[in-house]
Amino acid sequence: DSGVTQTPKHLITATGQRVTLRCSPRSGDLSVYWYQQSLDQGLQFLIQYYNGEERAKGNILERFSAQQFPDLHSELNLSSLELGDSALYFCASSALGRLGEKLFFGSGTQLSVL
Amino acid sequence: GESVGLHLPTLSVQEGDNSIINCAYSNSASDYFIWYKQESGKGPQFIIDIRSNMDKRQGQRVTVLLNKTVKHLSLQIAATQPGDSAVYFCAENTGANSKLTFGKGITLSVRP
C-alpha cells in the first residue's frame, strides 16, 4: 500500500458528461501529481500541485482542471468527456515536489466513457 | 518507440534466471532516473532509483545501470521470480521539480 488513496476505483459515464476524481496523498506529502495512462500513450503527466498551488503543467486538455485543497487532497475534473478520455488516471504524491524525490502512486481510477 | 498495451514489448524469462530490462531515455539533461513496476490493476510501484552522478546502484535482487554516453538505463533482476511478472517503466526527471517522464514500458513474463 503506497499510502495514496484514489476514489472512485471505477467510473463509467457517457460522452459530454463531467466527472471528478479524488486523491488523498500520503500523510505528510505536500505535492500531488496527476497522470493519465492509456493503451496508446503510456503514462502521461497532466499536472502537479504543491501545497495548494499549481507547480507544473503537462499534456492536460483545457477540458480538464485540477486543484489541491488546504487539507492537501486533490481533485481532477474532467468535462465534456469524449470516448478518447477513457483511461486509467493515477494520482501520485511526494514530500516536497523537488528533484530526486520518489513519487508514490495510488491504485488509479479507471474511467470508461461510453 | 513501442506503445503500452497491444504493442508493448515483452521479455520472457525462466524462473530463477536473471532478467535485464533496457530503456533508452531521451533527455541528456535528465538528473534522476527511476524504475517502476506495475502489476495488473495497480499503480506503479517504486523499485530503485539512480542519480546522474552514478553509474550503478544496487538494491535487493535489483541493480540499475546508467550509461549517460548513450542515454541508456537498464534494470537487472537476479533470480527472477513469478512475482516479478509485471510491466516495468523507466522514468526520468529533468529540472527543478520532481515531475517524471515515463518510458513506454516493457512487460516481463516469468515462465515457471
pLDDT tens track for A57-96: 998 999 999 999 999 999 999 999 999 999 999 999 999 8
Contact list in A for residue B41 (CB cut-off 8 A) is 107
- Cα–Cα dist A39/B86, whole Å: 15
The shortest CB-CB distance from A42 to any of B41, B96, B105 is to: B105
**Confidence band of B6 (pLDDT split at 50, 70, 90):** very low
Task: Name every residue whose Cβ is closer than 8 Å to that of residue A101 and which is 6 or more positions away in sequence.
Answer: A31, A94, A95, B98
**Confidence band of B30 (pLDDT split at 50, 70, 90):** confident
CB pairs < 8 Å spanning A and B: 85
**Confidence band of B96 (pLDDT split at 50, 70, 90):** low
- Residue B4: the pLDDT is 30
Give me the half-sphere count of Cα atoms (radius 13 Å) on the Cβ side of residue A9. Answer: 4
**Please, what is the Cα angle at A100 between B76 and B2, to 5 degrees?**
50
